[in-house]
Amino acid sequence: MKQLLLLTLFIPTLLWAQDDSKYLAGAVPLENGKVVFAKEINAPSFSKDEVYDRMLDWADGFFSEDGNRVVYSDKAKGDIAAVGQANLVFQSTALSLDRTEMNYRVTMECENQKCVMKVAGIRYEYNVSYQREPEKYTAEEWITDKYCLNKDKTKLNRGNGKFRRKTVDFIDEMFASASAALGAQVAANVVPATPVTPARTVTPAQATQPATPVPAKEGYVAFAADKVPSTLLQMLPESDMQVASAGKPDTKETSAQWKGTGNMFGKSIASIAISKDSPVYKEIDNNDTYSLSFFKKGENGDAWLIIDCRKQGETAEGGQITVIGEIINVWMK
Q: What percent of the chain has pLDDT over 70?
A: 84
pLDDT in tens, 309-324: 999 888 777 778 889 8
Which amino acid makes up residue 155?
K
Residue 164, SS3 per DSSP? helix
Report the CATH architecture of 221-332: Roll (2.30)
CB 144 within 8 A of CB 162: no
| pLDDT class of 214 with cuts at 50, 70, 90 | low
Q: What is the pLDDT of residue 215?
A: 63
- Residues 45-56 as b/e (b if ≥16 CB within 10 A, e otherwise) read ebebeebbebbb
**Of 90, 233, 98, nearest to 170 (Cα)?**
90
For the chain, give the mean pLDDT: 82
Fold designation for 14-181: Alpha-D-Glucose-1,6-Bisphosphate; Chain A, domain 4 (3.30.530)
Using the predicted structure, report yes or no on whether residue 174 has a pLDDT greater than 70.
yes
Give the Å distances, CA to CA, from 144 to 23, 27, 68, 102.
Answer: 10, 9, 25, 15
Kind of pairing, strands 79-92 and 221-223?
Answer: unpaired
Higher-confidence position of 281 and 200: 281
Q: What is the pLDDT of residue 184?
A: 66
pTM equals: 0.65
- Which residues are paired to 269 by β-bridges? 262, 326
pLDDT in tens, 236-248: 888 999 999 998 9
Q: What is the pLDDT of residue 196?
A: 35
Mean pLDDT of 25-37: 93
Per-residue HEC secondary structure of 17-43 comes to HHHHHHHCCCCCCEECCEECEEEEEEC
Q: Which range among 158-162, 172-176, 226-230 shows the weakest confidence by mean pLDDT?
A: 226-230
Q: What is the pLDDT of residue 187?
A: 39
149: DSSP letter: B
The alpha-carbon radius of gyration of the chain (Å, integer) is: 23
Q: What is the pLDDT of residue 216?
A: 66
Domain boundaries, the chain: 14-181, 221-332
Highest mean pLDDT among 107-116, 255-264, 311-320: 107-116
Q: What is the pLDDT of residue 167?
A: 95
